[in-house]
Amino acid sequence: MPVKLVFIINPVAGKQDSSLVLPGQIRAAAAERGIDPIIWITKAPGHARRLASQAIQSFGSVALYACGGDGTLNEVIQAAAGHPDAHVGCYPCGSGNDFVRNFGGREAFLDLCAQLEAKAVPVDLLDTSLGYGVDICAAGLDAKVAYGIPKFRRLPGCGGSMAYNLSIVQAAFSRFGHRVQLTLDGQQSIQNCMMLAVCNGRLYGGGYKAAPFARMDDGLLDVIWIRPVPRIKLLGFLSRYKAGAHLCPDGSVFPAMRPYLQYTRVRKVQLKVLDGRPIIATVDGECKPVTELRAGVASGQLSILLPRRALERCSDVIQTGSVVSLDQ
């Protein structure tokens, strides 16, 4: 069955309205290949998910391009999860765009001609109590930082990593740390937890490499949990965490970080707050205060679209031998 190409554009993602110029660029690139794409513009939060569901119901076999940031992509993923003939691509024109960082960054994804020739690759999903995600589910200080980013992005010249770093400073001087019950593949423990990252992908938060060795198709989640770090050490600790240098090449924790950080790989994670204060949790940047959080791996439940240059850079992230060309 021919695949119908559908571009879903979020006009409020990023600092410029992509709906003003992007539709014309899409049509021009598609015309060169004899493709007749559908282009829809979102009108409100949640609309991208509804449009993606509509496309799946109407066309069956469909390539859904989320044109926006990680939030727009997340909405499309909610609709496409578990549908083998729904393939999800990303045209990154938002503020964060952490998903594409897993595959070398934005450049390869901004080439519309390459996007129209993208290959489909099966990957795992995070199946959480907050919904599906493809990258990282987090709780604690890092999620609190994500929760505070939007107000900084409204400042002139403050986007991406700068907004994230300012939110870190604010969060670092607020109250953080929770007493929690953490259950990993059925093994339960009580922890003083500053932050928890449950990772299918490697990067989040404007480029923080939480899980430098995570794979998106291995059926496992890379889990990092961190006890409260003294404020005097916090910025140095987070700097090393951002670089992915908290883990050694053999997967062990860097010695200086062992008093605070632990790492493992599992299939299921449960967190329950014991101190009565809700913890901020996030899935791919979508945040919510919670008292309980569940996350598991849904193996092979999403088909993502990757342009050629992105595929060339990601052999350590996914099995590139399983790519499929779309019949348009």
Residue of 328 and 73 predicted with greater confidence: 73
- Write down the H helix ranges in the chain: 22-31, 47-59, 70-80, 98-101, 112-115, 141-153, 160-172, 231-242, 308-312
Paired with 270 in beta bridges are 183, 294
Tell me what the mean pLDDT of segment 300-312 comes to. Answer: 93
Taking the domain 133-298, which CATH number applies?
A: 2.60.200.40
**Residue 234, φ and ψ in degrees, nearest 5:** -65, -50
| Dist CA 217 CA 290 (whole Å) | 28
Take residue 181 and report the two structure tokens written for it.
Answer: 């019950």
Q: For residue 70, give the nearest of 43, 47, 101, 40 by alpha carbon.
A: 101
Tell me what the mean pLDDT of segment 69-74 comes to. Answer: 93
Residues in the chain: 328
| pLDDT tens, residue by residue, 201-212 | 999 887 889 999
Beta pairing class for 208-209 and 203-204: antiparallel
Q: Where residue 293 falls among pLDDT bands split at 50, 70, 90?
A: very high
Q: Where residue 15 falls among pLDDT bands split at 50, 70, 90?
A: confident
The domain ranges of the chain are: 4-118+307-325, 133-298
Take residue 240 and report the two structure tokens written for it.
Answer: 């090393």
| Dist CA 136 CA 125 (whole Å) | 10
| pLDDT of 17 higher than 90 | no
The confidence score (pLDDT) of residue 260 equals: 95
Q: For residue 314, give the nearest of 8, 108, 14, 12 by alpha carbon.
A: 108
The confidence score (pLDDT) of residue 95 equals: 76
| Dist CA 5 CA 104 (whole Å) | 24
Q: Where residue 177 falls among pLDDT bands split at 50, 70, 90?
A: confident
Question: Which range, 7-21, 142-156, 259-273, is most confident?
Answer: 259-273
Tell me what the mean pLDDT of segment 178-188 comes to. Answer: 95
| pLDDT of 306 higher than 70 | yes
Q: How far is CA 114 from CA 19, 118, 187, 228, 311, in A?
A: 20, 6, 45, 45, 11
Give yes or no for a contact between 202 and 212, defined as CB atoms under 8 angstroms apart: yes
Take residue 262 and report the two structure tokens written for it.
Answer: 């632990």
Q: Where residue 176 falls among pLDDT bands split at 50, 70, 90?
A: confident
- The DSSP 8-state label assigned to residue 229 in this structure reads P
The confidence score (pLDDT) of residue 261 equals: 96
The confidence score (pLDDT) of residue 320 equals: 66
The confidence score (pLDDT) of residue 68 equals: 93
Tell me what the mean pLDDT of segment 259-282 comes to. Answer: 95
Phi-psi category of 289—alpha, beta or left, where left has phi over 0 and alpha has psi -120 to 50?
Answer: beta
| Dist CA 257 CA 50 (whole Å) | 44
Q: Where residue 186 falls among pLDDT bands split at 50, 70, 90?
A: very high
Average pLDDT of the chain? 90
Give yes or no for a contact between 135 and 271, defined as CB atoms under 8 angstroms apart: no
| pLDDT of 156 higher than 90 | no
Q: Where residue 262 falls among pLDDT bands split at 50, 70, 90?
A: very high
Fold category of 4-118+307-325 in CATH: Rossmann fold (3.40.50)
Tell me what the mean pLDDT of segment 275-291 comes to. Answer: 90
CA 14 to chain centre: 16
| Dist CA 319 CA 316 (whole Å) | 8
Q: Where residue 132 falls among pLDDT bands split at 50, 70, 90?
A: very high
| pLDDT tens, residue by residue, 24-67 | 999 999 999 999 999 999 999 999 999 999 999 999 899 999 99
